[in-house]
Amino acid sequence: MTTPRITVLQPDPAASLDQFTDWLTEAGAAVDVVDLTATDVPETVGDGVIVLGGINDARSYPWVGDLHAALRDWVSAGIPVLGICLGAQLLADAHDGDLDFGLEGEEGAVEVELMEAAAPEPVFVGLESPLVVPEHHHDVITELPPGAELLAASKRYEVQAFRLGSAVGVQFHPEASPETMATWTTQSGGDGDAMLAEMQDVDDRVSETGRRIARNFVTILMERH
């Protein structure tokens, strides 16, 4: 079987592929990371695309127009895309969804309920509701793009996951380790030690969800070959 290649777009050096690096390669994929602080949005990509998170709002980056156009092209071409946090917001914004910025947000371990529409969703195969996932955001998708289907919601914010054609966006961070969550919290002026303890306490459950999502994404790519 041909090894699927995943193009990973990284808007922010502080928001890396983290645990997904091992989980994706263990599932049989090859990963090419594109640092958007140093490189243009690529004209060609692999078999699938992952767009990671970042610290700024989804409309503030100099390359946002190019990425919006690329996301529309990839979805139109049926290329599987996984948008994570900022990546999900960019995916929604590129397809005429609505965003709001600088809200209360969510930080730490959050319960997310899978909707009925998530039952057949390939990205969530093998997962049971509710999920416990890492969250670190203050910008929010307030309205899904036309044609998008809501897959998951939290008590505070409705849009936690959605599908739009060949793309899925998740507001949470399935890739983030407890140590990464602690670092982000410290960098934003919070108590990193408390965050580390909170995430370590639920790490078995959180990691299983993240690992499953990574493996499911690779399976989607393999089934296309």
132 CB burial (10 A radius; 0-12, 13-18, 19+)? middle
Confidence band, pLDDT 50/70/90 cuts, at residue 1: low
The CATH number of the domain holding residue 82 is 3.40.50.880
Do residues 136 and 107 touch, judged by C-beta distance below 8 A?
yes
* Residue 187, in any domain of the structure: no
Residue 45: which of 13, 12, 78, 14 has the closest Cα?
78
Q: Which residues are the active-site residues?
A: 85, 173, 175
Phi, psi of 91 (to 5 degrees): -60, -45
pLDDT tens, 163-220?
999 999 999 999 999 999 999 999 999 999 999 999 999 999 999 999 999 999 999 9
pLDDT given at position 70: 98
pLDDT given at position 5: 98
Query: Would you say residue 142 has pLDDT above 90?
Result: yes
pLDDT given at position 8: 98
pLDDT given at position 2: 87
- Quickly tell me which residue has 């695309």 as its tokens: 49
* Residue 92, in any domain of the structure: yes
* Residue 183, in any domain of the structure: no
Question: How many domains are there within the chain?
Answer: 1
pLDDT tens, 29-77?
999 999 999 999 999 999 999 999 998 888 999 999 999 999 999 999 9
| CA neighbours closer than 13 Å in the CB half-sphere of residue 116 | 0
Instruction: Answer whether 0.95 is exceeded by the pTM.
Output: yes
pLDDT tens, 11-27?
999 999 999 999 999 99
* Residue 96, in any domain of the structure: yes
pLDDT given at position 56: 86
What angle is formed at CA 146 by the lines to CA 145 and CA 151, rounded to 5 degrees?
A: 65
Cα–Cα dist 153/126, whole Å: 18
The backbone region for 150, taken as left when phi is positive above 0, alpha when psi lies in -120 to 50, beta otherwise, is beta
Confidence band, pLDDT 50/70/90 cuts, at residue 224: confident
pLDDT given at position 87: 98
Over range 110-116, report the average pLDDT.
98
* Residue 185, in any domain of the structure: no
* Residue 196, in any domain of the structure: no
* Residue 41, in any domain of the structure: yes
* Residue 149, in any domain of the structure: yes
Cα–Cα dist 204/69, whole Å: 38
In the three-class reduction of DSSP (H, G, I as helix; E, B as strand; rest coil), residue 189 is classed as: coil
For 36, the domain range is 5-177+204-224
